[in-house]
Amino acid sequence: MLLMPKISRVLVAFLLMVLVSCGSAPINQSVNDPAESLNRSVHKINRGLDRIALRPASKVYQVVPKPIRAGVSNFASNLKTPGMIINDLIQFKLIDASSNSARFIVNTTAGLGGLFDPASNLGLPERYSDFGETLHVWGVREGPYVELPLFGPSTLRNTIGRMVDFASNPVRLLSETPEQQVYAGTQTLKAIDQRGRFSELVDSIMYDSEDSYAQARLLYLQQRREFLRKTDNKDNKEYIDPYNDVYDK
């Protein structure tokens, strides 16, 4: 009987080792989109929503003075930090976890509840993480590409990640109904602010491109995979060589 806790401890240690030694899932190079026709219909809806709601809202919101918009976005970001710390911890990224923790403490206190971002100036920029990344680190593969209604480009793995992050968000779980609404409200305003800041870029993808679906898909996958490549410390990528492509064949 005395052996039991010891055995279970060994078992836990063993499982952790297996988990870590399994390593990250491979990073895909190509586009895997078996549900393309469904995704394209969702994209059409999203584009319509952007045209009639998000884009005009972002134009209106730009009227609000910049410091106020920045304050709201900072506040929204700060509330996401505890969730990132949890993901850092379960990925065994202890430096990221402590950096994000210090950031959260500084911005919540000195930054007046997160309205300001003094931590970035102190050398504590946000070290982004989410549960989609955690799944990747645990060895779960990317899965097919998905375009989500409202939220836009994603993958199956990231869709699950989003749901887990939402369900397990400590800030949301620890707060009452009115604060939850404030939380949701500031997150929405942050998204509207971002749409405004990147207006030229987003417009060029959504409305100038002849295939906005394919462009959004490529952009999303490239950016997400680059983020995961950084997570895995796999930085040096070999590119397609256009000179070889054109002249040497």
Partner 1 sequence: MRLVKRTFKNFFILISVIFFSTFCMLTVSQALEKSEAEELIKKISLEVNNIISSTRDESVTIDELESVFKNYADTNIMALTTLGPARRTASSSQLEFFKDSFQIYFLNKYARRFRELRDGEISILSSRPIRSGVEVKTRVHLIDWAPLEVLWLVSDRSGEVKIFNIIIDGINLLSSERVEIGVMLENRNGDIDLLSSSLRGIN
* Shortest Å distance, C-beta 41 to partner 1: 18
Contacts of 209 (CB under 8 A, 6+ apart): 215
Nearer to partner 1, 21 or 244 (CB): 244
Nearer to partner 1, 179 or 241 (CB): 241
* Shortest Å distance, C-beta 239 to partner 1: 6
Nearer to partner 1, 35 or 218 (CB): 218
* Shortest Å distance, C-beta 50 to partner 1: 19
Nearer to partner 1, 18 or 240 (CB): 240
Backbone angles phi, psi at 139, to 5 degrees: 100, 5
Q: Residue 46: how many CB atoms within 10 A of its CB?
A: 22
Strands (E), 94-167: 145-148, 152-155
Nearer to partner 1, 95 or 247 (CB): 247
Contacts of 120 (CB under 8 A, 6+ apart): 126
Nearer to partner 1, 32 or 222 (CB): 222
Backbone angles phi, psi at 66, to 5 degrees: -55, -45
Asked whether 216 and 205 are in contact (CB, 8 A), the reply is: yes
Q: Angle 66-90/156-168 helices, nearest 10 degrees? A: 100
Nearer to partner 1, 5 or 242 (CB): 242
Task: Using DSSP, state whether 228 is helix, strand or coil.
Answer: helix
* Shortest Å distance, C-beta 73 to partner 1: 10
* Shortest Å distance, C-beta 249 to partner 1: 10
Separation of alpha carbons 25 and 155, rounded Å:
14
Separation of alpha carbons 19 and 112, rounded Å:
39
| Contact residues: partner 1, CB under 8 A | 66, 70, 125, 197, 200-201, 204, 209-211, 214-215, 218-219, 222-223, 225-227, 229, 236, 238-247
Dihedral sign (CA 7, 8, 9, 14):
positive
